[in-house]
Amino acid sequence: MPKMSHVLLFEQKEQHCISVRTRVSTENLPKVIGENYDKLFGYLEEEGVLPTESPFVAYYNMDYQNLDVEIGVPVGKKLSGLGEIVSSTIPSGKAIFCMYRGPYSEIGEVYEDMAKWIESHGEKAVGTAYEYYYNDFDFPESELLTKVVMPLKS
């Protein structure tokens, strides 16, 4: 029997970030995320800036062979960026979120529950999904903690 996700509505505040946007296949995604987190956190260390939230990946499509993703880290102020690392923002607005604990391979159930919530509440998603990662592969898969955020159209 599938687990039901607890979906919550909230008002997203605009959030400054540094990020790298790229295209990647699903099978190469973990490697690309890791490499870019290393670059992003290295840049933050050089700038003497701490993140304000856990790192994220924004998914702009769900084409598993050619994912359009933004790999980023929220920060407290606008930074200039360097090379492929750019300053970006997560826009303000109405959104829903759900906390998920478990393997990434089973996170699809959360997306299904969020889509059902959106439909049953007469809302429309913007089309971008954010996944914030609160721990990493050093943890057992059953303990991986991810916050999934879906902005809604106003």
DSSP label at residue 79: -
Quote the CA–CA distance of 3 and 5 in Å, as a whole number: 6
Strand pairing partners for 88?
17
Q: 4 pLDDT band (50/70/90 cuts)?
A: low
SS3 (DSSP) at 84: coil
- Say yes or no to pLDDT of 1 above 80: no
Which pLDDT value is given to residue 138? Answer: 84
Inform me whether the pLDDT recorded for 120 exceeds 50: yes
Domain boundaries, the chain: 8-151
The answer on pLDDT for 37 being more than 70 is yes
Q: Are 114 and 150 in contact (CB under 8 A)?
A: yes
How is domain 8-151 classified at the architecture level of CATH?
Alpha-Beta Barrel (3.20)
**Does 84 score more than 80 pLDDT?**
yes
Q: Tell me which H or E stretch contains 78.
A: none
Q: pLDDT digit string (tens) for 44-68? A: 999 999 999 999 999 999 898 999 9
Q: What is the number of residues in the chain?
A: 154
